[in-house]
Each structure stands twice: as C-alpha cells, then as structure tokens.
A = this chain, B = another copy of it.
C-alpha cells in the first residue's frame, strides 16, 4: 500500500437469518466481497446454524444462534441478509430495520406492495440501507448491455422486450411441498420467484418507466393450493413499447432477455445466473439489412464478452456494503434500490391482479 492511501475501512459485519439453500451462495459472496464479513447466523435450531456456519466456511468467530431475534439483538451485527420465505419478510425486515441494521432482502421482497411499503418506511425511519438481492443487476455485463440499449445509433427507440425465466428441478414433490409453492410461505409462486426477474429485466430495459397496462396471458397454471406454477403477461408502456414475459416452475431452466429497438436488437441467454461465473456474453445486431437478393444479412451479429473477477453476487454484496459505509460516513442512504424494488413489486401485483380478474387488463397505478 502506498503511504498516501487511507487506512482500509473495516468490513461490514453481516448477520444471516436462516439456513436457506440460497444463503450458501450469498454467504460465499459476503466472504468473497472485499468490504464485508459474516459475524452471526441464526436459525430456529442452534445446531443447524452451527453446522451451516461450519459447512460454508464461515469465520471461526461467527456466532451461531438458535433464533433470528438473537441475530438482530447482537450489537456486532451491522447488516442482515434475509433469505426467509416471502411471507416472513414483513415481520423480520421491519424488525431488522427497527434494530438499526441494514437489510439485504431476498426476492420476492414482499407479498404485495403494501407490505413492501411498510418495510421501506421502517428502513427510512431508521436511516438504514435497503437493497433487494437481485444479483444480475450487479454484473458488469448488465451495465454494458444498458450502454447498448441507451445508444441511439445502436438500438434506437426501444420497441419490444421479451423475457423468460423458468426452471424445472422439482417434479411432483416440489410442486406440492416446496417452500416456493406453499400458499402460507411463498404465495406468489413462480410469479414471485422467476417472474420477479423477468419483470425486473423489462423495467431495467425500459429505464424503470412503469407500464400503463398489464395484461396476464391466458392461461396461468396453478398447483392444488392455487399457487402459480407458470404464467406470463404483456405490458404496455405509455409510449407504445410492448413487453411480454413467461415465468414457470414447469419448464426447463431458461433465462432469456430479448430487446428489440428501431435500430438494433440485444439478446442474452443467461441473464439471471451466467453459465460461466467469470464471463457473461451477450449478442447484438445493429442496422441489420437483408443482403442482395435477401439471401443473408449484413452486418453479422456481434458477441460481446464481459469478464468479471468477482461473481455477480459478490459484486452485489460489495455494492451494498459500500452504501452501508456511505451511511456510516454520514452521507445518507441510497434510495434507488428501494424505488426499483417497489416498481418491480407494483408490476408483480398487477400481473397477479390481472390473473385474478380473469386475464383482464389492469391499469398500473404508482403512488
């Protein structure tokens, strides 16, 4: 280190609520990120928490608790990662904020925008940072794709977006009993779990403009308990842009975004989780014309490869932790992540409402 460099800041100290499978990946990310560490984990079983900490290489000093409350009471914990089932988010996120801990909240963030508003209000009242754990937002590829989409020459006016996120890793047992399809745990089903990403992708592509109308596609599929297993929707934007998505627990793992503009086209096939941790590809065409006699096209499509040293989930933690540091430095919290979360939730709610209204269009109201 050069003599003039400031001393490094101490890492942001995370506590984790629960031993969800996804917490293994995010724990690794917290430990990979240069400005964060793990100091506590709580589970309903202290033994389970201890085993989780050991199995996932947590620091030896990590405290393992037999309750979530104990994590929130621990004065050493500055920030909390919450990977609990969605129906528990309202209670635990609000409590976390009240305890003045910063919140990295897994998605779907809430069962509806009313719940999310309570969470965001609690964060605001306590002055803590809020971010949802939508990892792909933080891959450097996402910024490079956005640069393409924002380029008047290369993409031009955006006309249409389509996104798919589906996976099929369960079979009958999953579709009946997994947390993600239990009405008392994750009542939004595939819409909350996979549709969240599609909706976020559409809003991201549209510079977070909200659609004016959302119409669910006929038909959706449900399990015995009425939880959504697959659905889709079309979104109409004020300027005439049109977006569609399809999300599912019943189809092969697929993670696509296609964005069509007046002058160009962008597609990405692994937007949620890159096939390769260190490099994210995307594909573009611009000002494409049929060649002479219409027996081909000009110019050829381009592949763009975006490398990253840290996986996207570690970049997410790094960004979150740097925002926490800003608050500690007296610079206040970053509001944009709450705004983006809320817009995503508003559209999730509108899709659900449209399904419940028999696939009628729903006006999107953003207050």
Contacts and interface: CB of A to CB of B under 8 A. Distances in A.
B28 A293 contact: yes
B230 A232 contact: no
Contacts of A221: 240
Interface in A208-253: 213, 215, 217-219, 221, 230, 232, 234, 236, 240, 242, 244, 246, 248, 250-253
Nearest to A312: B295
Interface string A83-117: 00000000000000000000000000000000000
Contact of A242 (B217, B273, B287): B217
B297 A275 contact: yes
Interface stretch (A65-73, A120-128, A159-167): A159-167
A156 B286 CA distance: 35
Contact of A288 (B162, B253, B277): B253
Interface of A: 22, 24-25, 28, 156, 159-160, 162, 164, 166-169, 213, 215, 217-219, 221, 230, 232, 234, 236, 240, 242, 244, 246, 248, 250-254, 256, 258, 260-265, 267, 269-270, 273-277, 283, 285-290, 293-297, 300-301, 311, 359, 361
Closest 7 CB pairs of A and B: A253-B288, A217-B234, A159-B251, A254-B265, A218-B236, A251-B260, A252-B264
19 contacts: A159-B251, A160-B230, A162-B164, A162-B244, A213-B218, A217-B236, A218-B242, A242-B246, A248-B260, A252-B261, A252-B287, A252-B288, A253-B265, A253-B297, A254-B288, A273-B297, A275-B300, A275-B301, A277-B295
